[in-house]
Amino acid sequence: MFAAVVGVLLIGFPVAFTLAGTALVFALFGVVTGVFDATFLETMPSRIFGIMNNGTLVAVPLFVFMGVTLERARIAEDLLETLSALFGRLRGGLGIAVTLVGMLLAASTGIVGATVVTMGLLSLPTMLKRGYDPALATGVIAASGTLGQIIPPSIILVLLGDVLSSAYQQAQLNQGIFSPKTVSVGDLFVGAVIPGLLLVALYILYLIIVGLIRPESMPAAQDAAERSGSDDRPLAMRVVLVLMPPLLLILAVLGSIIGGFATPTEAAAVGAVGALLLAGLRGAWSRSRLADIGRNTARISSMVFLILIGASVFSLVFRGYGGDDVVRDFLLAMPGGVAGAVITVMLVMFLLGFVLDFIEIMFVVVPIVGPVLLGMGLDPIWLGIMIAINLQTSFLTPPFGFALFYLRGVTPESVETTAMYRGIIPFVALQILVLILLAVWPELATWLPNALN
């Protein structure tokens, strides 16, 4: 079934229809040959009804709305211009500004593809004009653009939190625990804060080191007018005025979750309203723009939920064939015990990230391997953060990384694809370093949630 899905996707069929269609073809074949029980399919309506009634998933269209609104309000452009002026005197200052803007956009939108494309369109021409090494420039943009995978409020963490919650309860029920503990999306948000900031710090540290070792690859801005831009207001005032609105919005969303004042869904509603207010204050509101935001939100949200329904059909048929038992026996038999099972699952997810988007992996793979791994005693928050960073690394790794495909689409032809690959390798190494640190010190992901509970 997995091989068939990958093959059909590579032909170019839509993901949601591929997942559901492949599963139904295999189910029909099984019914005809007498190796599949058709009663499994009778539970499908209740599964879809469960998705419709899932209050946590309401956060998805709200966070998408928030991200699309902020993108249309041109907040990224102002952030980049102001932070470039702030760090302009530093060698590599523009690269640091791009990293920080990527972090802020990740925390504001959580939409990886949109962040990579936006940063590519806004910053790459400026970086090339200032004499930045094309490899380094594209590497910084791709890496900072994928921070939306791990920095909350990430849509990936919303979806992963919902899937992991079900897997954690199933793992406990399999162990005979009939009053299972729960893990929430808010727990994953809190657990992702330290690893996300660690990644940003490592990116910036790498840029500083490269600036010292290879100063010609990241020249500093020479012209004072170029550093200050066309705005004649004091730089400190500009920094405050540009940074405060998105920071306040992030604080309102994450603070309400961490402080226990709101669920992730309620916080997403706060973020959506806050984004509208910011757009209104910036004069970015119009009837046509609001209609465009609504259409984009509906399109992205529909894509997410259609894939979720297709993945539900796929996992149902997969279980009907006993696939989950095969996976469990395989992981339990791996040499190295729990560590061997975790390494195997991470490697499989990493490779799947070359051909499947995070949503398919989230809805298809995690429900199958999650109960097995969590049944081995792993912390669900730690496992969720490991999966998120692992997929982020996969989406950066050449030659198949999705982030590189996004960036290639907005990169001038003068920048060779091989240069993009060279530039991203150091950031992939930093991602792997963070994964190793998380494996050695799980407290990087678990300490803050435990301290706040």
Q: What are the tens digits of pLDDT across the range 103-113?
A: 887 766 656 66
Nearest by Cα to 20 from 222, 260, 307, 313: 313
| 232 or 368, higher pLDDT | 368
Give the global pTM.
0.81
Contacts of 213 (CB under 8 A, 6+ apart): none
| 273 or 7, higher pLDDT | 273
End-to-end CA, the chain: 41
Q: Which two tokens stand for residue 401?
A: 């990384």
| 250 or 221, higher pLDDT | 250
Backbone phi and psi for residue 184, each to the nearest 5 degrees, phi listed first: -110, 165
Confidence label for 232 from pLDDT (cuts 50, 70 and 90): low
225 within 8 A of 98, measured Cβ to Cβ: no
Note the pLDDT of residue 227: 47
Query: Which ranges constitute the DSSP H helices of 223-322?
Result: 224-228, 235-258, 264-281, 287-320
Residues 180-190, mean pLDDT to the nearest whole number: 84
Element (H, E) at 86: helix 75-87
Which segments within 166-262 are labelled E, that is strand? Answer: none
Peptide bond into 45 cis (omega under 30): no
Residues 204-218, mean pLDDT to the nearest whole number: 89
Nearest by Cα to 38 from 48, 23, 51: 23
Note the pLDDT of residue 430: 95
CA atoms within 13 A on the CB side of 232: 0
Whats the size of the chain, residue-wise?
Answer: 453
Q: Exposed, middle or buried: residue 436 (CB in 10 Å: 0-12, 13-18, 19+)?
A: exposed
| 56 or 195, higher pLDDT | 195
Contacts of 444 (CB under 8 A, 6+ apart): 194, 195, 198, 437, 438
| 233 or 388, higher pLDDT | 388
Phi/psi-derived region of residue 214, left when phi > 0, alpha when psi is between -120 and 50, beta in every other case: beta
Q: What's the Cα-to-Cα distance from 113 to each of 105, 109, 132, 316, 410, rounded to whole Å? A: 12, 10, 23, 29, 12
Note the pLDDT of residue 81: 77
CA angle 206, 210, 211 (to 5 degrees): 115
**Per-residue pLDDT reduced to its tens digit, 395-421:** 888 877 778 877 887 788 888 888 888
Element (H, E) at 19: helix 15-33
Residue 75 CA, chain-centre distance (Å), reads 20
CA atoms within 13 A on the CB side of 208: 7
Using CA atoms of 298, 304, 308, 314 in order, give the dihedral in degrees to the nearest 10. Answer: 120
**Per-residue pLDDT reduced to its tens digit, 66-88:** 878 877 777 777 777 788 777 76
332 within 8 A of 372, measured Cβ to Cβ: yes
Note the pLDDT of residue 112: 66
Contacts of 147 (CB under 8 A, 6+ apart): 102, 103, 106, 115, 196, 199, 200, 392
Q: Is 378 helix (H, G, I), strand (E, B) or coil?
A: coil
243 within 8 A of 86, measured Cβ to Cβ: no
199 within 8 A of 434, measured Cβ to Cβ: yes
